[in-house]
Structure 1
Amino acid sequence: MRIAVTGAAGGLGGRVVQLLSGRDGVDVVAITRRRLSAGALQPGVEVAVADYADPPALRAALRGVDTLVFVSSDGPDARMLLHHRNVIAAAAAERVGHVAALSSIDADAASPFCYAVVNHLTEALLRATGIPYSIARASLYIEFFQHWLTRARSSGLLQLPAADGRISLVARDDVARALTALATGEPTCRHHDITGPDVAGLAGIAAVAAQAWGRPIAYQGIPPETFHTQTAATGLDPWWGYAFSSLFASVREQRWDRVCDHYTRLTGRLPLASHNVLSTQAGERQDSAGRASSDAQ
């Protein structure tokens, strides 16, 4: 079986490539936007350079591919949707037999979250091709949410416009394992909700981070306007300020308040809890700091 993975240089796509490589009977094609340095991927993995914006290159990369693991593009929503259209059109043109696609729990045209709309439209495009598919609708990544937790670690205060919204944070590694399981199985022609083991409000998430890191962290809900002003003051690209604001609007609507057992059914494993992921990362940082101190002596 020949399996291609888009976004193979990223954290999620790269992990899927790692999980697939070395499997008996599986040839892996890592599709990246730019050439990778030698040794960046596992031995035996074929690299195909194809930007999401380059339909001919995408078709060449997918030639002879049996299954495509379709990891999302990023950036502004209109560009992202165009990229997804290009990938799906290339897969259809090259008669790929199965697409295991990444989507999100909140894949809904009525959502205020910009990427929820993109995911909804992407799923519709994929279904319209008639290609057999399997869709992993992932919740928000622990590693993604850590952007705000890390800042709160220094200040002791997690300030976000989430109100009383609840989220089931999921480990990125679990999403990679779910996509790998879908890619190596028969097409299900349905979606699978990939969540963490529990849900929590922002105060609960702050408490988990505080326990894992041994630092006091409290949650303070702030108005969306305040969040927008604070985000703009950091110099963040305006697009990402809008994207994050729209995300928290969907959190306030309880669109991420969901726990499912689909991950365990697919992989036979229990999903990682936020505390385990954050504790592991804290331990890795301490080990790294200890080695650096030892090397300096």
Structure 2
Amino acid sequence: MVQLLADRADVDVVAMTRRKLPAEALPPGVECAVADYADPPALRAALKGVDTLVLVSSDGPDARVLLHHRNVVAAVVAERVGHVAALSSVDADSASPFCYAVVNRLTEDLLLASGVPCSFARASLYIEFFRGWLTQARSTGLLRLPAADGRVSLVARDDVARALAALAVGGPTGRHHDITGPESADLAGIASTAAEVWRTPVAYVDIPADTYCAETAATGLDPWWLYAFSSLFASVREQRWDQVRDDCAQLTGRLPRTLRDVLSERA
């Protein structure tokens, strides 16, 4: 994201990070402002004089993420930032079983209620994120997940970044834009695509949610992430990610890449 904006001659870019980065870690001409989402005074100092903030979500447990986002919104209001281009998710809904979908919707509501002009890039699930499960399945031959017949329009991370950058340099739209992949597929179809690209047998096996929890807990995964992933698949089962929109192409002028495209890059 920083590189995309730094490549433009018409904007000055300041990268806000939790800790000071060496100059070589940033593109030429990009300044660095240090501010943790948990530090309201530092946030205000970092946002002083800022015209547009690109808000990328915090991470960790949902209550902490929401607190961080509240701190950012308060700083944005106090420093009179002119536009917030915020990363959100397709399933941004307080009724969703997915913990981060609830946080994303509450964050959108906070920004809208603040009166600060804003735009939202609601991203679908990243191909690069989902590839972690596919990579495991590549070695076992089985993609064992509790998704039932849920469909997902997986999207490339770079395509989301380009769409968010486009929103940042444009005027506030006051609404959300669904940034999805060009196609939607169930997990059997996703597994089939991976098998074709990798020339390795990969088959989807739908398993009960409690089986997934037991098997995943046995790997030593942190309990929070086990809960987060379980709630994600609950939302997939409700078909909350089965959307295909052309917002990405409208914002960036280019079609989003397919799952096959991304997997082929690192086959």
Given the two structures, how large is their TM-score scaled by the length of structure 1?
A: 0.89
SS of structure 2 residue aligned to 1:20: helix
Pairing partner for 1:66 from 38, 41, 51 = 51
Partner of 1:157: 142
Question: For residues 99-110 of structure 1, what are the structure 2 equivalents within 5 Å?
Answer: 99-110=84-95
1:215, distance to aligned residue in structure 2 (A): 1.1
SS of structure 1 residue aligned to 2:95: coil
1:25, distance to aligned residue in structure 2 (A): 2.3
What stretches of structure 1 move > 4 A for 4+ residues in a row? none
Q: CA RMSD in A?
A: 0.7
Partner of 1:250: 235
Structure 2 Cα separation of the partners of residues 89 and 270 of structure 1: 36
1:121, distance to aligned residue in structure 2 (A): 0.5
Structure 1: runs of 5 or more not aligned:
1-15, 283-297
Structure 2 Cα separation of the partners of residues 281 and 32 of structure 1: 29
1:259 paired with 2:244, answer yes
Structure 1 Cα separation of the partners of residues 143 and 248 of structure 2: 29
Structure 2: runs of 5 or more not aligned:
none
Indicate the larger mover: 37-46 or 244-253: 37-46
Question: For residues 1-297 of structure 1, what are the structure 2 equivalents within 5 Å?
Answer: 16-282=1-267
Structure 1 Cα separation of the partners of residues 25 and 166 of structure 2: 23
Structure 1 Cα separation of the partners of residues 240 and 45 of structure 2: 38
1:185, distance to aligned residue in structure 2 (A): 0.5
1:37, distance to aligned residue in structure 2 (A): 3.1
Aligned residues: 267
Structure 2 Cα separation of the partners of residues 274 and 61 of structure 1: 37
SS of structure 2 residue aligned to 1:47: strand
Matched to 1:251, the amino acid is V
Structure 1 Cα separation of the partners of residues 243 and 186 of structure 2: 12
% identical aligned pairs: 75
1:88, distance to aligned residue in structure 2 (A): 1.0
1:214, distance to aligned residue in structure 2 (A): 1.8
Indicate the larger mover: 37-46 or 170-179: 37-46
1:147, distance to aligned residue in structure 2 (A): 1.1
Given the two structures, how large is their TM-score scaled by the length of structure 2?
A: 0.99
Matched to 2:168, the amino acid is A
Structure 2 Cα separation of the partners of residues 151 and 41 of structure 1: 33
Matched to 2:231, the amino acid is S
SS of structure 2 residue aligned to 1:122: helix
1:216, distance to aligned residue in structure 2 (A): 1.1
Deviation string, structure 1 residues 73-113 (Cα, Å, up to 9, x no partner): 01100000000011111111110000000000001111100
